[in-house]
Amino acid sequence: MEANDLPILRYLYRHARPRRHLEFGTWEGRGALGCLQECDATVWSLNLREGETNEEGRWAYDAWLDEAEFAPGNSIFTRTARNGRTVVRTDALGAIGRLVHEHGLGHRFCQIYCDSRQWDSSNLPDGFFDSALIDGGHTEDVVTSDTLNALRLVRTGGLIMWHDYCPDVTAQQSCSSIRGVVDAIHQLAPVIRRHCGDWFWIEPSWILLGVRNDREYER
């Protein structure tokens, strides 16, 4: 993400200049930071409070404390010992969104801690956001739920971006996160088409881009 796709997202934020941006899946806040640094947006972002656990029951996002960029002894991280070394959970409370705070941009950052499938967005009006990035859980049900929320909450003319989308079959075979996103997009294709008209894979990235299109929506 950071090496290949983040510059593309930064380019989109720099030119589209959203004022209100929504991001499913905060992790350490690298994507949110990109948006906050490229324009004047306020960013709302959701993440599981305790972090994601993979199919084998292990932490999905972690790092060696002594190899990562964390200050040793920093008590905000959830940690455990493995093979005599300390491992920190990088997508649990304390670490979620930390890069935004380390860059002093917390005053434009609204964090929501929940499973995005349980998010109650009913107090937010339709079209509240100028853009949304769907990059949280990558199973088909989570991507479906996040996409349906984004389609309601992004305004006409706004951008909807999905990360971990790639139509290349080899990439899909080697990466379960891509399969989940591709399956969800495939299932939701008629709904997305109704709201966005055409949508675009930014080749050769892992980003799919749609523009909310009122004309198509009203048809």
Ligand X SMILES: C[S@@+](CC[C@H](N)C(=O)[O-])C[C@H]1O[C@@H](n2cnc3c(N)ncnc32)[C@H](O)[C@@H]1O
Chain residues that interact with ligand X, rule: CB under 6 A: 1, 23, 25-27, 30-31, 46-48, 51-52, 61, 91, 115-117, 135-137, 142
Sign of CA dihedral 142, 15, 202, 155: positive
**Minimum distance of ligand X from residue 190's CB (angstroms):** 24
Q: How far is CA 213 from the centre of its chain?
A: 22
Position of tokens 């009006």? 125
**Minimum distance of ligand X from residue 94's CB (angstroms):** 13
Residue nearest to ligand X (CB): 31
DSSP class of residue 46 equals E
CA distance 55 to 171: 20
51 versus 213: smaller Cβ distance to ligand X: 51
130 versus 135: smaller Cβ distance to ligand X: 135
116 versus 213: smaller Cβ distance to ligand X: 116
**Minimum distance of ligand X from residue 188's CB (angstroms):** 17
137 versus 158: smaller Cβ distance to ligand X: 137
Q: Residue 149 CB: number of other CB atoms within 10 A?
A: 21
**Minimum distance of ligand X from residue 197's CB (angstroms):** 25
Position of tokens 């290349």? 168
CA distance 151 to 192: 8
